[in-house]
Structure formats: C-alpha cells, structure tokens
Amino acid sequence: MSILDFFRTRKAEYKTNIRDVDISTDDSFSPEQILLALSTGSPTSISPREAYFLSERNADLGGAVEKISKAIAQINILTKDVYKEVIENDDLVMLLDEPGESMRSIQFLYEIAESFLLTSEI
C-alpha cells in the first residue's frame, strides 16, 4: 500500500461535524444565526427588535447606521414653492423642527433615519 492509498482510505473514513444546510427550507435557525454565520448574501426578513439588537452587537453595522443618521439629523429642512422661493411657515417643517416637548428636532431626525436604515420603516 502506497502512502497515497493510505490517505485516500483515511479520507473516506474521516467524519466531519460540518454539514451543508439549505437555509431556505430549514426553520431551525434564527435570523441572527443566519446573519452572523450562515449568510447566503440574499436579504433576510427580521423583526425591528432584532435589527436594533444586531446593530448594537455589530460594530460595523452600528457604526455605519450612526454616521448616516447623524449626517441626516443635521440637515436643515425647508420647503420651496414652484418658483423656488422658501416657504416660511410650512406646517411640515414646523412639525419637524418642533416634534414635541421632550424631543429636539435633531434627535427626532436621528431616530427617523436610524429606524429607516434598520427596518425600512419610520
């Protein structure tokens, strides 16, 4: 028996713990496991709570969402009419500038941007 024959027979006997999983039909995995370890590159539907949880645990995702949200929150919002003149007392702009007593406009826009980036919902 040559050395190559020895390894060929050993390879056939070798058992592995790695298994192929088709995640499109296997319901035993949570979305978090799929996103963290078994991603196929296709979008996965997860709940909003899980999206926020993953953004807090994943530094890359959380950092990107934070940078984009901060940039959006600093935008000055205004409306213009058909003649491209600024409308001074627009109801929508006033609502966004003063969303409530306990929240500033920059915080409100940050929360809207973060929600949209993580869940595609506002």
Tell me what pLDDT residue 113 has: 94
How far is the CA of 56 from the CAs of 12, 31, 62, 77, 85, in angstroms?
44, 16, 6, 29, 42
CA separation for the pair 47, 120 (Å, rounded): 11
54 sits in the region (left: phi over 0; alpha: psi -120 to 50; else beta) called alpha
- Structure-model confidence comparison of residues 2 and 107, the more confident one: 107
Tell me what pLDDT residue 7 has: 61
Q: Domain segments of the chain: what residues?
A: 3-119
Q: By the 8 A CB rule, do 69 and 106 touch?
A: no
pLDDT value at 81 more than 60: yes
b/e string for 59-68 if b means 16 or more Cβ within 10 A? Answer: eebbeebeee
**How do residues 4-41 score in pLDDT, each as one tens digit?**
666 666 555 555 555 555 555 555 556 555 555 555 66
Range name among 1-15, 47-61, 82-96 with the lowest pLDDT average: 1-15
Tell me what pLDDT residue 98 has: 87
Global model pTM greater than 0.95: no
